[in-house]
Structures are given as structure tokens and as C-alpha cells.
């Protein structure tokens, strides 16, 4: 072990991260091993380049942004039935599974514990996980199948998530038969000097690598392999925090199959041109999502001859993929975006520091950055009031919060 420590020390020195072993001698044998393993797994070159990226403004000025085609679910007329029948057939044949991304930290909501365990305040006191499971089970019944459910957690919330499901008897699902859990990847957090942080527990401070980590983790955890063995060809990937998410949609699936695309996404039209949401577009010819901060006012206001916004289709994290497309996306690393966050850590002397303002960089990949892997995708505009009730913020924010989500949920399901 001493030899390994020496080797790691010299690597750490090369990258200016020697402090990671400052308290090594004070640890017991098991913790020593764990810390060394953690250090061995760090890609220091990547961390270096990510740190340098924090010094540059993230700009895509040279990118050519153009509008992308979409269809409105309620303006499909005769095609509606045609697509629906194709989708229904595939669902009945067991070709669809649902994937829920539940690895996020839910910082804005401020709930202690995994976001999926959050009770949005309905009389039933059902958690987000239970609301999602209700929807999946109900839809499955329509087609005489159980829709397999795959749940992505993070190292931070995996144990608590599993305990929650166990306590709730997996909401009627059977573990490792039709409900599966897998853990997403993570990356060390660094301070403003580029130093990797040590967390409260004395180990490297790591944070989940963003919802874009979904592809790599589905492949690495061999979930895609398992899906294929189960005859699953399509997966709907959605967030845990939209209590109106419709994961089983034969029309969406029928369009994807009929148009022979490997990705089909749902959108809702922007509430107003200035709404702060990412919208679908083409970036250098390829499907993508453009953030509200990247779009000019002129683009945000631009309309087509029918009066529809040219960049008005919001990305709501409701996307359907062919499993083989996910495998391809998982093979190529996505770019990381930087977020400046508050992170409790131990300083060089081992003292616990609890900051009251942001002090550290976190790196996240975004799911939609993989859209560029495909030449074309289908976009289906759905109704906001039917499919989108996000729980992002605490009630005090007044938008996308438990109160608004609860109201939308009750309205949709006609609950008084
Ligand atoms: P958000 O980007 O809204 O993040 O995630 P969040 O973690 O829920 O909340 P904040 O930003 O910390 O307040 C959208 C969806 O993606 C999942 C979340 O769980 C949510 O379902 N997600 C996000 C992951 O699964 N992993 C991540 O690393 C990030």
C-alpha cells in the first residue's frame, strides 16, 4: 500500500492536488483504501481542463441556430389514429420501458432526501415516485402489460431511494424483475483555485454528473443489455419531478416508428416569448436545445407565417429513445457545463467549512447535448396542462413549485 501511496502522491503533486492525502495517516485501514481508490479513479487531466473551462465564458457564438420542425399532437387529424395504432401495437408487444432520472440533488426544492420521496401535498400524501408508479401501472393495464421501470439514482441518494422503495413494497413492482435501479456517474467538485474538495466524511467531494450522465450509466450498469434481453426496443426517459409526466404515449411512439427516427421528444409551447426555458432547435444542422440565455430577443420573438414562435417548443425532459441509440450516445462523452454551488467541505487543516454563498464548481452533462448524435428526431407538441407540472422550487418561489404542481395535478385528475 505504501508504494501505491507514493505513486499517488507524485501524481497528485503533478496536478497540484497533494492536499487530498493530508489527513491520510489519521484514517483507519478501510478508509485509507477507500480514499486511495477514489483518487485512483479521478481523471486529473479532465479536472484540469474543466477548471480551465470555468475561466472561459461558455459561448457558442459561431453555432448556426435554425428552427426545427415539430407536430402538434392535437393537429394530427387522421394521422393521430394511424400513429396511435402503431404505438399501441409496440407497447402491447412489450417493446417499451420507462426510465426515471432521480439522481439530482433537488437543491432548489430544499427537500431533505431524494426528490422522488417528496410529498407534494395531495390529500393522499403520495410521493412523486408513487404518482409516477400510479401512472405507469394504469397505462400498463390498458395494454395488458407491465411497463418495466428503470430508476437512475446517484451515490448520494441511492441508499435512501432503495430503502424508500422497499418500505413501499416497490409500489407493486418486483425488484430485478420489472423494476431496476442503477447509479449514475459523478465528478469531483473543485474550489475556485481548481483544488478538489474533501467532503464532510473525509473523502473526495463528488457530485452527480448531470442528467446527461444517463446514457453512460445505462450502458455501464448493463441496463441497456438487460433491456435488449427483455425485448425492450424503446425507452421513455423522464425526470422524477414532473408529476403529470406521461411516460406511455402510443402517439409519440407511433410517430417515432413510422418516421424511422431513433429519438422522439415532447414539447410544450412557451408560456410567453421571454419564458426562461430551453427550446428545441437545430444547431449546425443537428437537433439540439438552446438555452434561454443563448437566444437573442429577436429570435425569442420571431414567428412563422402561422403566428407560431419559431423557437417556442420547450424541452420538458420527456424523451423517447431507441435502446440502440442510447448505446451509441453512451459511448461518446458529452461536454460538461459548469455550475457554481454552495458546498460544505473540509479545509486543509480538516476543519469543516459550511459556506453561506457559492464556493465551488460542479460539472454536469446535459441530456440534450446527445441529440446531435442523430440527424433527425420527431418533436411532438403536447398540452402543458396535461403533461407538465414540474416541482423545481420551494413554494416561496411561486413558480414550478409544490403548490403549482399540486394544482395542475388536481385539475387534470379532477380532484377537488
Ligand atoms: P434538474 O436539472 O431540475 O435538477 O433535474 P435537480 O437536481 O432536480 O434540482 P436542482 O437543480 O438541484 O434544484 C431534472 C431531472 O434530472 C434529474 C433530476 O433528478 C430531475 O429528475 N437529474 C439531474 C439526475 O438524475 N441527475 C443529475 O445529475 C441531475
pLDDT tens string 176-210? 999 999 999 999 999 999 999 999 999 999 999 99
Answer yes or no: are the C-beta atoms of 244 and 122 closer than 8 Å: no
Best residue among 102, 103, 104, 241 to mutate for probing ligand 1's pocket (most ligand atoms within 8 Å of CB) is 104
In angstroms, what is the span from residue 206 Cα to ligand 1's centroid? 15
Nearest in space to 368 (alpha carbons), one of 325, 294, 327, 315 = 315
Model pLDDT, residue 90: 98
Question: Which regions of the chain are under pLDDT 50?
Answer: none
In angstroms, what is the span from residue 211 Cα to ligand 1's centroid? 6
Residue ID of nearest Cα to ligand 1 atom 20:
239
Q: Which atom of ligand 1 is nearest to the CA of 238?
A: 21
In angstroms, what is the span from residue 152 Cα to ligand 1's centroid? 11
Model pLDDT, residue 60: 63
Tell me how far apart the alpha carbons of residues 308 and 377 are, in angstroms, rounded to a whole number. Answer: 20
Residue carrying the nine cell digits 409526466: 245
In angstroms, what is the span from residue 115 Cα to ligand 1's centroid? 9
What 3-state DSSP class applies to 134?
helix
Answer yes or no: are the C-beta atoms of 240 and 149 closer than 8 Å: no
Contacts of 216 by beta carbon, 8 Å cutoff, 6+ apart = 185, 330, 333
Ligand 1 first shell, C-beta below 6 A: 101-108, 115, 152, 184, 208-211, 213, 239-241, 317, 364, 392
In angstroms, what is the span from residue 352 Cα to ligand 1's centroid? 26
Model pLDDT, residue 380: 98
Write out the three cell numbers for 347. 479545509
Contacts of 59 by beta carbon, 8 Å cutoff, 6+ apart = none
What 3-state DSSP class applies to 413?
coil
Tell me how far apart the alpha carbons of residues 220 and 218 are, in angstroms, rounded to a whole number. Answer: 6
Residue carrying the nine cell digits 409519440: 252
Amino acid at each position: 500500500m505504501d508504494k501505491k501511496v507514493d505513486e499517488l502522491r507524485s501524481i497528485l503533486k503533478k496536478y497540484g492536488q497533494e492536499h487530498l492525502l493530508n489527513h491520510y495517516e489519521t484514517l483507519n485501514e478501510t478508509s485509507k483504501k477507500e480514499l486511495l481508490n477514489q483518487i485512483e479513479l479521478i481523471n486529473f487531466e479532465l479536472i484540469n481542463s474543466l477548471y480551465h473551462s470555468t475561466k472561459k465564458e461558455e459561448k457558442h457564438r459561431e453555432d448556426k441556430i435554425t428552427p426545427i420542425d415539430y407536430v402538434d399532437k392535437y393537429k394530427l387529424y387522421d394521422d393521430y389514429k394511424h400513429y396511435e395504432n402503431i404505438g399501441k401495437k409496440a407497447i402491447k408487444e412489450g417493446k417499451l420501458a420507462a426510465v426515471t432520472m432521480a439522481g439530482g440533488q433537488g437543491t432548489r426544492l430544499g427537500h431533505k432526501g431524494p426528490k422522488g420521496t417528496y410529498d407534494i401535498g395531495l390529500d393522499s400524501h403520495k410521493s412523486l415516485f408513487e404518482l409516477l408508479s400510479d401512472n405507469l401501472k394504469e397505462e400498463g393495464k390498458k395494454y395488458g402489460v407491465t411497463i418495466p421501470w428503470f430508476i437512475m439514482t446517484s451515490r448520494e441518494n441511492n441508499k435512501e431511494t432503495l430503502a424508500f422503495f422497499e418500505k413501499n413494497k416497490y409500489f407493486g413492482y418486483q425488484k430485478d424483475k420489472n423494476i431496476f435501479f442503477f447509479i449514475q456517474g459523478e465528478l469531483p467538485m473543485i474550489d475556485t483555485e481548481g483544488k478538489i474538495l474533501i467532503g464532510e466524511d473525509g473523502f473526495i467531494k463528488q457530485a452527480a454528473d448531470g442528467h446527461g450522465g444517463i446514457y453512460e450509466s445505462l450502458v455501464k450498469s448493463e441496463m441497456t443489455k438487460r433491456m435488449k434481453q427483455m425485448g425492450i426496443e424503446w425507452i421513455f426517459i423522464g425526470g422524477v419531478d414532473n408529476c403529470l409526466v406521461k411516460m406511455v404515449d402510443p402517439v409519440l411512439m407511433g410517430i417515432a416508428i413510422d418516421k424511422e427516427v431513433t429519438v422522439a421528444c415532447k414539447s410544450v409551447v412557451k408560456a410567453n416569448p421571454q419564458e426562461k426555458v430551453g427550446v428545441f432547435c437545430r444547431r449546425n444542422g443537428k437537433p439540439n436545445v438552446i438555452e434561454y440565455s443563448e437566444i437573442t430577443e429577436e429570435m425569442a420573438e420571431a414567428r412563422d407565417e402561422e403566428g407560431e414562435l419559431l423557437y417556442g417548443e420547450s424541452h420538458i425532459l420527456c424523451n423517447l429513445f431507441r435502446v440502440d441509440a442510447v448505446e451509441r450516445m453512451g459511448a461518446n462523452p458529452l461536454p460538461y457545463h459548469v455550475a457554481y454551488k454552495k458546498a460544505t467541505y473540509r479545509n486543509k487543516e480538516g476543519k469543516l467549512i459550511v459556506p453561506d454563498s457559492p464556493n465551488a464548481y460542479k460539472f454536469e452533462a446535459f441530456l440534450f447535448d446527445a441529440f446531435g448524435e442523430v440527424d433527425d428526431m420527431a418533436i411532438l407538441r403536447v398540452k402543458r396542462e396535461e403533461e407538465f407540472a414540474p416541482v423545481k422550487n420551494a413554494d416561496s418561489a411561486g413558480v414550478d413549485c409544490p403548490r403549482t404542481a399540486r394544482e395542475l395535478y388536481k385539475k387534470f385528475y379532477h380532484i377537488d
